[in-house]
Amino acid sequence: MSEAGLKELRDKLDTIDNRLLDLVNERMDIVHQVGLLKAQSGGSIYRPEREKAIIDRLESLNNGRLNRAAIEALFLEIFAISRNIELPENVAYLGPEGSFTHQAAEGRFGAMSSYVSISSIKGIFREVHTGKAKFGVVPIENSSNGIVTDTINCLKEYDLKIVAEVVLDIHHTLASTCDKIENIKRIYSKDIAFEQCRKFLTNFGLNEVELIPIESTTKAAKLAAREPNSAAICPHVGAKLNNLPILFENIEDKDNNKTRFFIISNFENAQSGNDKTSILVELPDRQGTLVEFLTDFNNSDINLTKIKSHIVEGNSIFFIDFDGHQLDDNVKDVLQRHKDTIKILGSYVKEIKDI
């Protein structure tokens, strides 16, 4: 292509970029007007069901090269910028920076949000409960390791609501300053990450070196970056943040390793038409109560998608997900009938991906 032809295309791109900037600024002006109205009514600026409806509509209108993932990536960032220009709010996540929870938070709230790294799940709930953070992002389950008990315990203890879920693909790297694997004498990571990469460690003889479990895979990268003859099993982002060379990518045993996260806050979502509801259930200790409970949901045409049993403070409780919103007529009726045994954790837009 000639220089003149290339310049012509670049000029067209500049013109489009100028139009985009004007349109985004126009959108921000309207967002500001909406924000003023919501402030008067006490409504929340973050409306996941509204964001989903916008993305669904845009996908249905799309005739170009963008797929749904690209549309989501573009507009979720625009939504996040809109919220932060209108009302900057803290987002608490399970740290440190670069952790998978941090990645899940940034994927939903964008680069402009104010993030607060918290060292424990209970600490995140406490930050949101006291109002120091408007939102909290916590892991609820992993496809390989199951439900996160600390999150279940906190959902029972605190009167906060699940307002959204995020499902993240989990990929681990082996990162080290060592040029050769045989020079690695110790590996830092979370105990869960060691379990998720057991086959890789065995295949390369690394199961015989010292495996040191610590509280964070990102902290593992920090330690490995400053200690000779050490390595870390950590996220790609964690290695990059600590300038730690990556020796192997995607070393997890299962290629569909996913973690589901909850976004918690202090408000309820409206119905979106594609919702999921989570509840905790503590049933009387007598034979047949669980069967009766589940039968009642089945008779109300409610699809239960997850049932997990847990022991909390010595008592057996069930964590249950089902399709539908708590304000749907059939759901509302059955929840009312069992109100003495149910704690409603929240209704929220169902992720396209699930684990």
- Between CA 329 and CA 233 the distance in angstroms is 48
Q: How many angstroms separate the Cα of 217 from the Cα of each of 122, 189, 242?
A: 19, 5, 12
Output the pLDDT for position 40: 62
Output the pLDDT for position 41: 60
Query: pLDDT (tens digit, 0 to 9) for every residue of the chain, 355 residues total?
Result: 688 889 999 999 999 999 999 999 999 998 888 777 766 665 677 888 888 889 999 999 999 999 998 998 899 889 988 888 777 779 999 988 889 999 999 988 888 889 999 999 999 999 999 999 999 999 999 998 889 999 999 999 999 999 999 999 999 999 999 999 999 999 999 999 999 999 999 999 999 999 999 988 999 999 999 999 999 999 999 999 999 999 999 999 998 899 999 999 999 999 999 999 999 999 877 777 888 899 999 999 999 999 999 877 767 899 999 999 999 999 999 999 999 999 999 999 998 777 8
pTM metric for this prediction: 0.86
Domains and CATH numbers, the chain: 21-86 (1.20.59.10), 88-170+257-267 (3.40.190.10), 173-248 (3.40.190.10), 270-355 (3.30.70.260)
- Between CA 127 and CA 133 the distance in angstroms is 5
3-state per-residue secondary structure call for 230-289:
EEEEECHHHHHHCCCCEEECCCCCCCCCEEEEEEEECCCCCCCCCEEEEEEECCCCCCCH
Classify residue 134 by burial, with Cβ atoms within 10 Å: 0-12, 13-18, 19+: buried
Please give the full DSSP string across 50-116, using - where no structure is assigned.
Answer: HHHHHHHHHHHH--SS--HHHHHHHHHHHHHHHHHHH---EEEEESSTTSHHHHHHHHHH-TTSEEE
- Between CA 237 and CA 226 the distance in angstroms is 17
- Between CA 199 and CA 30 the distance in angstroms is 53
Asked if 232 contacts 187 with a C-beta cutoff of 8 angstroms, the reply is: yes
* Enclosing H/E stretch for 229: none
Asked if 174 contacts 231 with a C-beta cutoff of 8 angstroms, the reply is: yes
Output the pLDDT for position 283: 86
Beta bridge partner(s), residue 114:
90
The position carrying tokens 């600590």 is 242
- Between CA 269 and CA 46 the distance in angstroms is 9
Beta bridge partner(s), residue 203:
none
- Between CA 351 and CA 344 the distance in angstroms is 19
Output the pLDDT for position 312: 74
